[in-house]
Structure 1
């Protein structure tokens, strides 16, 4: 799939997928950032991008 195609833009990056997985399992942002050694803002940023790509409006 070409990098500029709509499908490619909607695919999750490796980091987004890594953050989305525990969120999907019901973990809180604090649990995610502690487990992945990321800042809380980084987790929020990636989840916002994941939600936008997947059309999710709330957790």
Structure 2
């Protein structure tokens, strides 16, 4: 993997915010997404994707 970035989204209509972490490979393809734990009820979960961007599972 090449790196990780933090993504924050804010809805100005509702004021709701959400944050997640994306892990990218050397081609810039998102390979893993991990929502911030306060949005998953305190459970850390990682969603994994293959080279084509298809969902392959979570851990």
**TM, length-normalised to structure 2:** 0.20
Larger radius of gyration: 2
- Larger helix proportion, structure 1 or 2? 1
